[in-house]
């Protein structure tokens, strides 16, 4: 099945596939991913391929959206991910993002997240978008608020080993 891809001024936004295994391996092992999102035990490129197959592809097949790999138009470089996630324990669809360190603080997170927020409402028929972030992840909080989501409280994700209380944001149409 052909899934939708999107573009912004500087980015191509396309569903993550097993062809992105090497990139996903690198991203999931960056210091910020490990600190703020958590260790997914992806220790090899083969683990990354399995992670994509088991964690990303099933939602894509079920709902038509999931995790997207972000590639620059300028030099076709994979720089990060952004996605719409059907996450257990959250009302609505969770929007999330992560970038390789060298591509942070360049506006790519807002550019890609804002585009996915727009298509979530206009093309995927989503009515509620949530976002979760660690209490000490100030840059993520600022971006979520810039996207128009409002802080509504805290939450814990079911079956999450960390038991960390996360900030919960939401926007509805």
Q: Are 100 and 80 spatial neighbours (Cβ–Cβ below 8 Å)?
A: yes
Please tell me the total number of residues recorded for the chain in this structure: 173
**Can you say how many angstroms the Cα of residue 170 is from the centroid of all Cα atoms in its chain?**
15
Q: Count the helix, strand and coil residues of the chain and give each as a percent rounded to the nearest 5.
A: 35, 25, 35
C-alpha pair distances (Å), 115 with each of 60, 121, 134: 18, 10, 23
Domain assignments of the chain as residue spans, ordered by start: 6-172
**Can you say how many angstroms the Cα of residue 147 is from the centroid of all Cα atoms in its chain?**
14
Global pTM value: 0.94
What pLDDT score does 161 carry?
Answer: 65
Describe the crossing of helices 138-146 and 108-122 by its angle, rounded to 10 degrees.
40
pLDDT tens column, 108-166: 999 999 999 999 999 999 999 999 999 999 999 999 999 999 999 999 887 766 678 99
Architecture of domain 6-172: 3-Layer(aba) Sandwich (3.40)
pLDDT tens column, 78-91: 999 999 999 988 88
């Amino acid at each position: 099945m052909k899934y939708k891809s999107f573009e912004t001024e500087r980015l191509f936004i396309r569903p993550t596939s097993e062809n992105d295994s090497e990139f996903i391996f690198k991203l999931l092992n960056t210091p910020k991913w490990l600190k703020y999102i958590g260790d997914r035990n992806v220790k090899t490129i083969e683990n990354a391929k399995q992670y994509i197959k088991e964690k990303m592809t099933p939602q894509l097949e079920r709902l038509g959206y999931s995790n997207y790999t972000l590639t620059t138009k300028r030099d076709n470089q994979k720089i990060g991910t952004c996605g719409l996630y059907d996450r257990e324990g959250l009302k609505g669809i969770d929007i999330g993002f992560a970038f390789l360190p060298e591509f942070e603080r360049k506006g790519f997170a807002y550019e890609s997240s804002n585009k996915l927020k727009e298509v979530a409402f206009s093309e995927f028929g989503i009515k509620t978008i949530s976002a979760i972030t660690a209490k000490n992840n100030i840059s993520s909080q600022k971006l979520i608020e810039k996207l128009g989501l409002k802080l509504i409280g805290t939450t814990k994700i079911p079956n999450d080993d960390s038991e960390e209380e996360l900030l919960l944001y939401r926007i509805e149409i």
